[in-house]
Chain A
């Protein structure tokens, strides 16, 4: 904790760094009390942080799957009144662009963000009967802290091609699903080695058996055939919630992994960019290269839209900076976290990002995470400087990760500052 606190940086233009003799701001008072790391904000600043976090919580409640996130980000972009264009939209990916004052050849700022979050995915033939209950067999999508997913209300989000989507469990009057957990009285032996095996993560779908559950799904427009073709995600049913009487923390499904996706698109809508900006949402950054083809496609499309060819694409990439926006460690409440800076970007690129963050008035910390950023490394092979930037979260594999509203807002400021950097 102490080591991380020492890494918290103060932007040059912030009130805390203002010259001596100026009226002491709330933030200065906070710092003089020997608590350097915990920023206290002016009421106006706090109100902006709170408003932003509330809007983000609404976004998270509506965007629990990748497809829903694409839909919500697309809707958000359309609020710009045409300044932001949708370069490419796929069911599970989206690229948004905004022209800057400078020509494309001088490079652009690219933000690549993942849109997924860990969840349970129904198997193609999920119906089974266990001890008279109707159950749904699942597989794990992403890394889940399995015990944290037991005994919580779960919702089912289904996408079936050519049909309206299926959502069960998100409205207060909806029934929910659950993976039950063993009572402690009888857990002595059965859970001594491991709380639950991944292959045992079946979701309780009905008191009636498999036939009753199949009929209940069919009655909601999902016959067994559609179970085999569609995408069915099981996610926590609860809406995000603020934590603590000061509402300084936000607990919500996907809160950490999608923070910069939301922050970057909000900044894209609000900014008056100097260089061109491309915000690319991909389904996943897992497996290093998952999002790479789409990133390249999105760059090519945006260059082609302004009449450029492959030479223009390569030239643009050489002068551009990519920010990979996902959780990279750091301590909540200390600002947006930069991934380890020593590897995948040149010092020039690092300085450009830091200047951008400072320009936007954002506060940052440098993460000491052990995890090396595979996504940034992968993009750096494209002759693209890539730096990871993310909102610190607690419990990234838990159903309700926790982030700080302050950090969330710093992510927005960092993006906006980078976009508007002269």
Chain B
């Protein structure tokens, strides 16, 4: 306990510091690729070096205390701190993608009305009459990559004027939204050409999103909350990133897996990516164990946001098993609606995480994904479990999840950060 107090004094990271950092992270990382870029920059500034997990020689040269950065394409990132016991691991997985609108690639229609489709499960009405920012990547005909952002700093926003009707009971929609880019195609074409050197033909190869243009805000007269888009799951991603960067001398190999595409099935370079397995094989070789053995000797936290009790709709929650904002991180024994992308943690791991939290004084809340038969949601836990890791869902509660103005509590982020860091730092006991 004395050592923990000393550690806290040394830390000097406050809840306010983290909340400010969160707002910066959210405002800079509007897409998974942008958030991954921020994570890479932070890691490189903290001494992480790039590792190509397909490079046999590089893998052979890995040593304890190495700080490694693996870019899973441009959109996801795996950060590793090699432990003094490199054959054992502690992983935290979180996702960098957030819900929003994705622009359909191709030319801008002559009437200036672009088409966009939902990315992730969104309620269409949340996106009507809300100023939007266009951001993402275009690969030009010559192969060069352009990162572009157009929005309020250019003196205008984009706006949805027609939304598709909801097509399921959860009010979600898959049909296209109509987005005003201008009264004709020409003004946007001109901005793209003069500002970014992007011609209309170039847009055929693009990944462009329309995300809320508003910057994040503090919410509540007590300034205890943060509101803004993409906190599902950049909130947990930031907690995991900061915990990995700040952790001291992890005994086990510590890894933060921050991935794209969770909201759409974890494909491409998401949680299911072979590059994660390749990196494990690389680390296993350096630890002189067989591929897969590091996974098998790892515990993992699947760090995703959880639905905090909604003050206006408490009836959808199982109130004795639902987290409240400000109550601390959530520990989830099982996720999914009992059938959908479900995952159930071993009691031993649940006990270990509860004991760890109790030791450092982090409050933990139980959580289910809503009342039985009200719906639910999954996380990337099962993709970690499939690799042989022992996984439990530990997350942070948010309100208005999947809306363009998600809300989290500063104190929860702080406690989540402490828990994640302790998880990485916990020494191996004999």
Contact = CB atoms under 8 A, between A and B. Distances in A.
Contacts of A251: 129, 131, 157, 159
Contacts, number: 234
Leading 8 A-B pairs by shortest Cβ distance: A207-B224, A216-B221, A183-B401, A130-B311, A246-B187, A245-B187, A244-B182, A151-B403
A400 B191 CA distance: 25
A175 B307 CA distance: 22
B74 interface: no
Contact of B156 (A133, A187, A191, A241): A241
Given A182-B316, A185-B376, 8 more contacts: A174-B217, A185-B377, A186-B376, A187-B316, A207-B224, A207-B411, A243-B158, A244-B159
29 contacts: A131-B310, A132-B325, A134-B220, A151-B403, A151-B405, A152-B130, A152-B405, A153-B219, A174-B217, A175-B217, A175-B219, A178-B227, A180-B311, A181-B403, A184-B122, A184-B402, A185-B370, A186-B376, A188-B170, A188-B375, A195-B171, A204-B311, A205-B220, A206-B224, A241-B152, A243-B158, A249-B180, A400-B130, A400-B131
Interface in A183-220: 183-192, 195-196, 200, 202, 204-208, 212-213, 216-217, 220
B291 interface: no
B426 interface: no
B222 A181 contact: no
Contacts of A202: 311-312
B159 A207 contact: no
Contact of A187 (B170, B180, B213): B170
Contacts of B187: 244-246
Interface in A212-235: 212-213, 216-217, 220
A247 interface: yes
Given A178-B407, A181-B123, A244-B187, A186 B129 contact: no
Given A153-B405, A178-B400, A241-B157, A207 B225 contact: yes
A53 B169 CA distance: 41
Interface of B: 112, 121-123, 125-126, 128-131, 150, 152, 154-159, 161, 169-172, 180-184, 187-188, 190-191, 213-215, 217-225, 227, 307, 309-317, 324-326, 369-371, 374-377, 399-405, 407, 409, 411
Interface string A377-404: 0000000000000000011001111100
Contacts of A333: 183
A242 interface: yes
Contact of B310 (A152, A180, A217): A180
Nearest to B316: A186
A45 to B, nearest CB: 15
B402 A130 contact: no
Given A133-B311, A179-B312, A247-B156, A190 B214 contact: no
Contact of A207 (B126, B130, B222, B317): B222
Contacts of B312: 130, 179-180, 182, 196, 200, 202
A187 B171 contact: yes
B228 to A, nearest CB: 9
Nearest to B307: A183
A237 interface: yes
B325 A246 contact: no
Contacts of A132: 309, 311, 324-326
